[in-house]
Amino acid sequence: MTATTVDAVPDVAPTATRSRPVPAPTPFRRVLRVELRKMFDTRSGFWLMASIVITSVIATALTVILGNRDTLDFEDFAAAIGSPMSIVLPIIGVLAVTSEWSQRTALTTFTLVPHRSRVLSAKVLNTLAIGLVSMVIALGVGALGNLLTAMITGNDAVWNISAGTFAQIVLANELGMLLGFALGLLFRNSPAAIVGYFVVILVLPTLSGALASAQDWWADNAGWFDLNQTRFLLFDGGLSGQEWAQLGLTSVLWIALPLLLGLRLVLRSEVK
């Protein structure tokens, strides 16, 4: 019988594991800049932004041509420009979100910036900034129209919009943009979100008015539930303490809650 010998296995030193450095997160300023550029890059986005200036010029020109020039003042121009702004600006809020899904760039965006909350924060900040800049531009166009009217008629230009009134107009439009942004998060589809916005601002006020004519309780308390009834008061001047409370409650019901729900859906949903 022969004995089998087993060669001793030499001790092999474990190879050192190479550690790969963790890349630094993308600076938030860069995310802001990229998201802002994406709002202008597409043809539809560019012309939607351009429509802010175009509609302001058209509204101002029509006011000068068709209005009673002897009685025109700055408030008349602001009212004429405010109507198209209240339609265009919320659509910008919608497309700021839904364009990622309609153009199928959401997967790329959230791969480059895995923390989706940072992307959404950049989108909402850019949306609000565009709303503010748009209103300043619209106010400037209206001011030029007011000066032109004064030159044509020879009358002194009337500047009857205070800083507080302008701030309320800006707030009303910013709330509209936040409503559009919230609907964009909920639906993540441009046509559905836009239709939903027009249902909220056009159909629901009609239903609320019909209900108020039939129910005295609703007529007395609709301001606590109807966002449009309280938000549109911002365009008309000062609000009482109760009206500010109504605006706060309706903003929570119609903007804050859908916004939180939409954020939860976007943060947890699978992006394809």
Tell whether the model's pLDDT for residue 29 goes beyond 50: yes
| Mean pLDDT confidence for 4-15 | 52
pLDDT at 179 over 90: yes
Q: Alpha carbon 251 to chain centroid distance?
A: 14
Query: Is the per-residue pLDDT at 1 higher than 50?
Result: no
pLDDT band at 192 (very low <50, low <70, confident <90, very high): very high
Tokens of 232: 């549109």
Which pLDDT score is estimated for 115?
86
Going from N- to C-terminal start, the domains of the chain cover: 28-265
Can you give the pLDDT at residue 249? Answer: 93
pLDDT digits (tens, 9 = 90+) for 50-95: 888 899 899 889 988 888 888 888 888 888 888 888 888 999 999 8
pLDDT value of position 256: 95
Mean pLDDT score, 250-271? 90
pTM for the whole structure: 0.85
Residues 141, 149, 83, 79: what is their CA dihedral angle, to the nearest 10 degrees? 110
Mean pLDDT over the full length of the chain? 85
pLDDT tens-digit map of 201-242: 889 888 988 888 888 888 888 889 888 888 888 887 778 889
Q: Which residues contact 57 (CB under 8 A, 6 or more apart)?
A: 141
Q: CA-to-CA distance for 197 and 183, rounded, in angstroms?
A: 7
- Indicate the range of 11-25, 152-166, 228-242 predicted with least confidence: 11-25
| pLDDT of 127 | 93
Judge whether residue 21 has pLDDT over 70.
no
Give which of 221, 13, 191 is closest to 91, Cα–Cα. 191
**How far is it, in rounded angstroms, from Cα 196 to Cα 49?**
21
Which residues neighbour 94 within 8 Å (Cβ) at sequence distance 6 or greater? 180, 181, 183, 184, 190, 193, 194, 197
Say yes or no to pLDDT of 10 above 70.
no
Specify the pLDDT at position 6.
47
Residue 262 has pLDDT above 70, yes or no: yes
Cβ atoms of 92 and 123 within 8 Å: the answer is no
- How many Å apart are CA 130 and CA 40, to the nearest integer? 11
Evaluate if residue 12 carries a pLDDT over 60.
Answer: no
Task: Convert the pLDDT of each residue in 100-129 to its tens digit.
Answer: 887 778 888 888 888 889 999 999 999 999
Please tell me the predicted confidence (pLDDT) of residue 164: 85
Residue closest to 133 by CA, chosen among 251, 79, 55, 53: 53
Which residues are CB-contacts of 155 (< 8 A; sequence separation ≥ 6)?
70, 149
CB 122 within 8 A of CB 31: yes
